[in-house]
């Protein structure tokens, strides 16, 4: 092997690594294009669970007008199983989806969600078609393409009868 072949091979390898390193940037997170709508804190008893922020294309809350995103930055460690259980409880309380849908959705979430630690950020971005995309620490986790799932998931924080109406108003940018 001569120097030219070796240097071309090395340069080709470097170019490949540069492309691979740029992929997360090229597949950049979609929510920075959105405008902040509101933010707030979720507490349980006297414990802070997470900070939440909501984003939309216009900077205003409009039910079902996508793209939208919610960001949750956790204040404490929570096991994936506890996140799944709380999600299902909220869907049942809100009357969102059927039991069959819950099981299907929870199975998809179980395959993509991690346990979270204090300081971790989990984001949920809903694209124009209504598909929901999860990101953890700015890394894509997976997609649930069902628009009914996206609506049900966002309803946990944004519905009129959410568990924390004050947080809902803050996220919606309402007084």
Residues 123-141 pLDDT 10s: 999 999 999 999 999 899 9
CATH number of the domain residue 98 falls in = 3.50.70.10
Asked if 52 and 72 sit in the same domain, the reply is yes
| Residue 24, pLDDT score | 39
| Residue 27, pLDDT score | 55
Distance CA 103, CA 91 (A): 11
Put simply, whether the predicted model's pTM sits higher than 0.85 gets the answer no
- For 168, counting Cβ atoms within 10 Å of its Cβ (0-12 exposed, 13-18 middle, 19+ buried), the class is buried
| Residue 9, pLDDT score | 52
Asked if 70 and 135 sit in the same domain, the reply is yes
Asked if 95 and 75 sit in the same domain, the reply is yes
Low-confidence ranges of the chain (pLDDT < 50): 2-7, 10-26
Asked if 76 and 11 sit in the same domain, the reply is no
CA nearest to 73, candidates 156, 154, 136: 136
Asked if 103 and 126 sit in the same domain, the reply is yes
Residues facing 42 on adjacent strands: 50
**How many structural domains are present in the chain?**
2
Q: Which domain holds residue 2?
A: 1-29
| Residue 139, pLDDT score | 94
| Residue 149, pLDDT score | 98
């Amino acid at each position: 092997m001569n120097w030219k072949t070796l240097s071309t091979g090395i340069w080709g390898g470097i170019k490949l690594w540069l492309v691979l390193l740029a992929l997360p940037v090229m597949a950049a997170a979609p929510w920075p294009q959105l405008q902040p709508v509101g933010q707030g804190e979720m507490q349980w008893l006297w414990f802070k669970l997470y900070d939440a922020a909501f984003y939309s294309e216009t900077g205003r809350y409009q039910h079902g007008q996508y793209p939208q995103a919610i960001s949750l930055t956790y204040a404490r460690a929570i096991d994936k199983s506890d996140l799944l259980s709380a999600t299902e409880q909220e869907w049942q309380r809100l009357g969102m989806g059927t039991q069959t849908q819950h099981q299907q959705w929870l199975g998809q979430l179980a395959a993509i969600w991690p346990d979270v630690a204090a300081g971790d950020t989990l984001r949920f971005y809903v694209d124009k078609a209504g598909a929901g995309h999860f990101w953890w620490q700015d890394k894509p986790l997976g997609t649930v393409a069902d628009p009914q799932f996206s609506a049900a998931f966002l309803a946990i924080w944004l519905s009129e009868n959410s568990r924390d109406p004050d947080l809902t108003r803050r996220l919606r940018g309402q007084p």
